[in-house]
Structure 1
Amino acid sequence: MRTQDGPVAVDEPAGSSAFHNALALAVTPVQRLLVLRLAVPGDSPPNTVCGRCGAKISLRGHGQPALLPPGRCGGCGRPIGAPPYLLELLTVLAAAVAVLASPTGPVMMAALWWVACAVPLVFVDVRVHRLPNVLTYPAAAGVLLFLLLDATVSETWEAVLRSVTAAATIGAAFILTALLLGRRGLGLGDGKLMVSIALLLGWWGWGFVFTAVFVAFLTAGVAGAGLLAARRVTRQSHLPMGPHLVLAAVVVLAVQAAG
């Protein structure tokens, strides 16, 4: 498999897939903690306790069970946060796609970093229709850092320049649309998320970025039409766009991996 301007990908060594799956699962407690803390209205403080029993949620001690794949409070046992096992499944699948699509180590780390930030954003956006800066900014910064490392090691400066140009152009277009249309269109968080997506996919080429945008709007339109037909929403309802942007980016990476 060859990128548009990058080196030829090498085959993954034996056992590498299992290693990356284990690595992906190792970060899911932090992802669950982020979902619990950030899935609140924008003007509310981060959530740190179970809404029923008040048990503190943390990465250690009695608050840890809520951050394991079953997603149940250690105090009262009720489901809490992201649905059981779903966050872990999505993280592993997206991480596997990122590994298979990436031709070099730094690009792979950029894609994995983006996956680690993007999966929690899906659950937060579905619940409260917001994409917090605490995840969108690090997503873009981390991707850029690893791509710069790749350019330093592999002399892929042209690909990185294209990534930055794509992020600035597409991100600005999304943010401008959000400012002009308000709640009738995209949100500012969608634009910030798109910056990291364009940074990552732009490394392979402009076509990858434009395809992701097309797929995102296509799936959002189909989902919206289905919900409208089922009378689950009205024409005035605001539907989250973040999950469609993340799905589209993973689909594009999957196509690249398959090619």
Structure 2
Amino acid sequence: MHSSDATGVRRILVLGGTGEARDLAARLGDDAGVHVISSLAGRVRDPKLPAGEVRVGGFGGADGLAAWLREHRIDAVVDATHPFARVITANAARACALAGTPLLVLRRPAWEAEPGWHLVGSLDEAAAALPGLGERIFLSTGRQGVGRFAHLDLRFLLRAVDPPDPPLPPHLTTLLARGPFTFDDEVALLREHRIDVLVTKNSGGPMTRAKLDAARELGVAVVVVQRPPEPRVPATTVEEALERLRHAG
């Protein structure tokens, strides 16, 4: 990898929180010519920490991030956040433009739509679709969007790492658990709670795919929130991201 640091060490900031981000940080850390700093938003109380230096918390928007990049002499930024982390993705793009820092986006491929899926553009659209689909809903959308369903008199099961904040649906069961979950796990969960509808985001990748396979096996309706558009063409694997970083800067 090239370096703009007088010490010969290239400094890379990884905006993380995903499995791909942790994998990338570990792979970069194996290179003696690279110092990697992973940034976590701090929204999960007990996150899985990547190898190497870790920073937790926000930067103060795009301007704050740009100033931080200059102050810490960052040679490249990798946005390896969740596909639905719109704010940090937008801030990263603007900050890197302001600071003149190369930016690489790393995203796992989205799931290809299957026959029968109900594709929607937002959590609000997902909520609007539910009354005609079933009474018992498995929300696999993360704890932060639960308020979008608070007005519905349906029975919800939410699985999340941390408890959700109000407003909440009147009939909500919260299951605190951290994946990954197997196909058998997901089949058992859907059966136990007699789920009619699965609501999920198109996060992609194999780690959270089992719930979709279980829903298909049991004939459970599936509502999928589609991803927002990417600001640039992303790398889709850690190997591709490493290759691009080797030729950047």
TM score, norm. by length of structure 2: 0.28
Per residue, is there more strand in 1 or in 2? 2
TM score, norm. by length of structure 1: 0.28
Per residue, is there more helix in 1 or in 2? 1
